[in-house]
Amino acid sequence: MMKLKNDKSGRIGQYTCALRFLPVMILSLIMVVDADAQKPGRTMIIHLRGVYESKITLLTLSDSRTFKPIIELAGVKKGETASLNIPGEKLPGEFVLRFDYREKETSTPYPSEKYLFINDQDMELWVSPVYCNNPDSTWFQRDERENAAFVRFSKENNRKKEKLGVLQTFLMNYDDTGSALYQQGIQEYELRRQAYNQWLSARSNQDKALFVSNLYPFQYVPQIVWKGSEIDRVNNLISHYFDGMDFKNPLIIKTSDLNKWMDSYVNLYGQLSTTPALRDSMFPLAGRNAIEKARQGNPLVYGWMVDYFYRGYETNGITAGMKILEPYMNDPDCLTSKRQEIARRLKGMKTLIAGSIAPDIALKDVEGNLFELSAFKTPCKYVLVLFWSAGCSHCEELVKTLYPWQQQPEIKREIAVIAVSLDETETEINAYKEKIKELRDWKHLHAGEGVRSKVAGDYFVLATPVMILLDSQTKEIMAVPNTMPELKRAMK
């Protein structure tokens, strides 16, 4: 675990070291960017079969770990050939090929998707969108390597994992853990686990020239201690979770499996978080431990790990977690893409604190009238400023609880709600306009530039939802609650 130096000489030494290596790291980053920009692109030829017409969209994994469209071709007819030119900077990578097809001319478009991998090879694909994941309806050219290798690996992996899973289920559910049969089961499981991991390593080495081999290590089975309590087992899994991963390999950040794999790691800490107090300590601990592991690897992986926990802490309002990210902001080896956002959030945590005066808000309300927070009058004791987005699932969950609670007569007399929408796209804004019809009695404002707006900047809002509880008369900040229970406690 990282130890912070509090002595003056230690800090000076740390900063001097950072300055010494900063030019080298900047040069390394430029070289990485230039290398990506100079990679040759690849072509994918698609022969459409089995439907009247389809729109074809290619999506690639974005920095936010979601698949975003990069190429779109509309109106491709049955029997026609579509050509997609994939930019070199997106390669190698994991992609989704989406078809919005119509089986007949009068049919309503219906979606289907095929996951695929593209590396250093032009590709040709014959596809029937209705059955795009069936090998008898969709296939690549004979010499295609990446996807063919992944199919072979997946079939063999599933067979081996199934046998291991039978033993694991037996050990987890057997009632006599002191019996000779149970001890024999433990020995057999461990032998098979080690044999499986050896096979996995051999397959990774066999396919090391292929991009898909970077996904194999996510299948590694860590050591499990079968003796002791459930908590002992979880703690042991945590301590061995990273055993099979090579953080020196930068290509793992180009896979969606890394995000899923890290979600499973964090969920182990979730099993130990039986109280809110434990949650606030366990999830920051998860971040520190994982980042310290990644710190020993490639700077891109190190930066990715900081980004991953930043997104989690920001989305779930875990301020204690956000604080553990601060030391990494001064590390030139940390190639995080969220340095500015993290710095902004940390500044906000130090600025928007209980006892300070809330920044003024000047926006037009839904009736077109200018609203100013500083001039807002209400007989209520409190004002709750809520930053939200109609398309945000976390906001939806919060509003479903917050609105009916606040509408209770005894609560309504205590607190007024000013809801500031950060919706940006036309789709989001239309959803927002419909949603506020259900949220009567709230003061609704809309910041058209979303998180880039002045009001979001003043309140250091980078993701929604965010709640800030104010004294209605003085506009002094009373609390910055992350959850409904915290809001209720702050009003007592």
pLDDT of residue 279: 78
pLDDT of residue 260: 95
At 308-354, the pLDDT tens digits run 999 888 877 788 888 899 999 889 999 998 888 888 878 887 888 88
Q: How far is CA 344 from CA 237, 251, 310, 415, 424, in A?
A: 35, 29, 12, 29, 21
Mean pLDDT over 153-181 rounds to 92
**Of 176 and 278, which is predicted with more confidence?**
176
Amino acid occupying residue 417? V
State percent of the chain over pLDDT 90.
70
* Domain 362-490: CATH superfamily, name plus number: Glutaredoxin (3.40.30.10)
The mean pLDDT of the chain is 88
pLDDT of residue 23: 39
Mean pLDDT over 408-417 rounds to 95
pTM (predicted TM-score): 0.74
At 97-136, the pLDDT tens digits run 999 999 999 999 999 999 999 999 999 999 999 999 998 8
Joined together, the tokens standing for residue 1 give: 């675990």
pLDDT of residue 347: 83
At 140-159, the pLDDT tens digits run 999 999 999 999 999 999 99
Nearest to 177 by CA among 128, 130, 225, 138: 225
Long-range contacts of 69-76 (CB under 8 A, 24+ apart): 69/98, 76/46, 76/48
Alpha helices in 241-390 (DSSP H): 257-272, 276-295, 299-316, 319-324, 339-351
According to DSSP, residue 234 is labeled H
In CATH, the number for domain 42-140 is 2.60.40.180
**Residue in this structure with the two tokens 């039986």, named with its chain if needed:** 274
pLDDT at 273 over 60: yes
- Please state, in angstroms and rounded to a whole number, the distance separating the CA atoms of residues 381 and 388: 22
Mean pLDDT over 209-229 rounds to 94
pLDDT of residue 14: 29
Q: How sure is the predictor about 461, in pLDDT bands with cuts at 50, 70 and 90? A: confident
pLDDT of residue 319: 80
pLDDT of residue 372: 95
**Of 55 and 3, which is predicted with more confidence?**
55
At 235-254, the pLDDT tens digits run 999 999 999 999 999 999 99
Q: In DSSP terms, which residues pair with 48 in a beta bridge?
A: 127
- Environment class of 137 (CB within 10 Å of its CB; exposed 0-12, middle 13-18, buried 19+): middle
pLDDT of residue 36: 57
pLDDT of residue 37: 55
pLDDT of residue 7: 35
pLDDT of residue 102: 97
Stretch among 52-56, 65-69, 188-192, 294-298 having the lowest mean pLDDT? 65-69
pLDDT of residue 175: 87
**Helix (H) or strand (E) run with residue 46 in it:** strand 42-48
Q: Are 94 and 255 in contact (CB under 8 A)?
A: yes
Domain spans of the chain? 42-140, 157-351, 362-490
pLDDT of residue 10: 33
Beta strands at 110-118 and 93-102: parallel, antiparallel or unpaired: antiparallel
Q: Are 374 and 385 in contact (CB under 8 A)?
A: no
Q: Are 360 and 372 in contact (CB under 8 A)?
A: yes
Q: Is 244 left (phi over 0), alpha (psi -120 to 50) or beta?
A: alpha
**Of 299 and 6, which is predicted with more confidence?**
299
pLDDT of residue 180: 93
